Amino acid sequence: MAEEVILLDVLLSMFGARVRIALAEKEVKYENKEQNLSDKSPLLLEMNPIHKKIPVLIHNGKPVCESLIIVEYIDNVWQRKAPLLPTDPYQRSQARFWADFVDKKLYVAGNKVLTITTKGEEQETAKKEFLDTLKMLEAELGDKPYFGGESFGFVDIALVGFYSWFHAYETFGNFSVEAECPKLIAWAKRCMEKESVSKSLPDQKTVYEYVVQVRKKFGIE
Amino acid sequence: MSSKEEVLILDFWGSPFCMRVKIALNEKGVGYESREENLFGGKSELLLSSNPIYQKVPVLLHNGKPLSESSIIVDYINETWPSPPLLPSCPYEKAQAKFWVDFIDKKVFEAGGNIWRSNGEALEQAKQEFIEILKQLEEVLGDSDFFGGKAFGFVDIIAIPLTSWFLAYEKFGGFKVEDHCPKFSAWIKRCLQRDTVAKAIPDSEKVYELVAQLRKMNGIE
């Protein structure tokens, strides 16, 4: 039976990255359709009328939205390879908790760092919040190779897309992630050794240049 | 030969998030102990150590292992005690249910909060937004008895406790949900007829008094 899998995506998005990585882990063939969020396509508006955001996975014409929900969906549909979530209910709940933490805390803290206007107190506050969040994640990782333990899984997928944005965070926040969270950098590099990850993530320079452009556009010095 | 299950909820009587957990356990026929937290006076050591990241209720302790974030807890309850199932088994329908859970989580309580926290023009705006959200949910419900279709399920469990705060919104906002969203009101009544729900949800008048107290504490006239 012919499967039609389409991903409405934006290369630089850490949320889009999650879905790319999940599909790559499962070796699912799909068509990637890069979206222009300043001029949203009729297809995007039709497939995600509620949030009008990417990523959207369109599987045999039916849309699935919200990146973590999409990753769970992918795990449920393509079960033969690479399980992304553990089978034990408690471990699953922990994986969902930490992926949700990345969404609730890291993304918001990261945006505050990227939109810093004045150096001094504002920068210090944003930097502290961001680094505190990263440190909590580093503590959760502990000495495990991946958040999931021995194998790459759900929380790794939820977080690793942010690695592309580290150079931008570091520059505008004036800190070094490696200096503050060396274990996390080691984890990120370990993930990047996987083809499913390295082929799915944009390089840090491209992301940085994009942020510079956006800051200019919104008059953020 | 069954091992003794220890199921403990760190609770607050007025929290819709705690009510979700109780309803889910009731639906599964699982007995539990609930321990009331004093959120205004001082959080217990157990709460702070079980949920160090957010320090919030509800926390579910299952045989000593802590879980936080109500939607994640309900998911865990569903997977640990499979009968009766609260989510569809079909991956696509499961993803749709999770999408609406996420929508409700992101929108309803915050929109309601905007009503009781504001006055004047801001209050009018907040009312409109709140009603729009309920109208969106009415569309999702359609002509079904429950969000789960014929059977009460995950989305219903996530949504129904939030309605215990509606009387407070109505009184402070000067409107009635039933006038704008009759289908939604009918769904509320249908859910409250279930014993598993009714015994977990406090009287709306008591919640109204709680919200009045919160308004005072926040310096709102």
Q: Indicate whether A17 and A61 sit together in one domain.
A: yes
Residues of chain A contacting B80 with CB distance shorter than 8 Å: 89-90
Whether B94 sits inside 8 A of A73 (CB atoms) is yes
Residue B14 reports pLDDT greater than 80: yes
Dist CA B40 CA B17 (whole Å):
17
Residue A13's domain comprises 5-77
pLDDT value of position A122: 82
Residue B202 reports pLDDT greater than 90: yes
For the domain bounded by B91-217, which CATH number is listed?
1.20.1050.10
Q: Indicate whether A59 and A106 sit together in one domain.
A: no
DSSP at B119: -
Residues of chain B contacting A96 with CB distance shorter than 8 Å: 69, 72, 75
Residues of chain A contacting B96 with CB distance shorter than 8 Å: 64
ipTM of the complex: 0.96
- A132: closest chain B residue by CA: B53
Per domain, the residue ranges of chain B are 7-80, 91-217
pLDDT value of position A54: 98
Q: Indicate whether A38 and A122 sit together in one domain.
A: no
Question: Structurally, what CATH architecture does the domain formed by B7-80 represent?
Answer: 3-Layer(aba) Sandwich (3.40)
Whether A136 sits inside 8 A of B53 (CB atoms) is yes
Residues of chain B contacting A62 with CB distance shorter than 8 Å: 92
Structural domain contains residue A84:
no
Report the share of chain A in percent with pLDDT over 70: 99
CATH code of the domain in which A23 resides: 3.40.30.10
φ/ψ of B123, rounded to 5, equals: -65, -45
Q: Indicate whether A105 and A127 sit together in one domain.
A: yes
pLDDT value of position B41: 85
Structural domain contains residue A67:
yes
CATH code of the domain in which A167 resides: 1.20.1050.10
For residues B173 and B119, the answer to whether their CB atoms sit within 8 Å is no
Structural domain contains residue A82:
no
Pairing verdict, β B59-62 and B65-68 = antiparallel
Q: Indicate whether A31 and A99 sit together in one domain.
A: no
- B64: closest chain A residue by CA: A90
Angle at A60 between CA A49 and CA B102, to 5 degrees: 40
Q: Indicate whether A177 and A71 sit together in one domain.
A: no
pLDDT value of position A1: 57
Two tokens at A91? 């471990």
Best residue of A93, A129, A138 to probe chain B, by most B CBs closer than 10 Å: A93
pLDDT band for position A218 (50/70/90)?
confident
State the distance between the two ends of chain A, measured CA to CA, in whole angstroms.
54
Question: What is residue A58's three-state secondary structure?
Answer: strand
Dist CA A202 CA A20 (whole Å):
11
Q: What are A79-106's pLDDT values in tens digits?
A: 999 999 999 999 999 999 999 999 999 9
Measured between CA atoms, how close is B1 to chain A, in angstroms? 22
Question: What integer is the mean pLDDT of A153-175?
Answer: 96
**CB-CB: which of A70, A89, A101 is closest to B79?**
A89
For residues A181 and A135, the answer to whether their CB atoms sit within 8 Å is yes
pLDDT value of position A39: 97
Report which residue type is found at A75: D
**pTM of the complete model:** 0.96
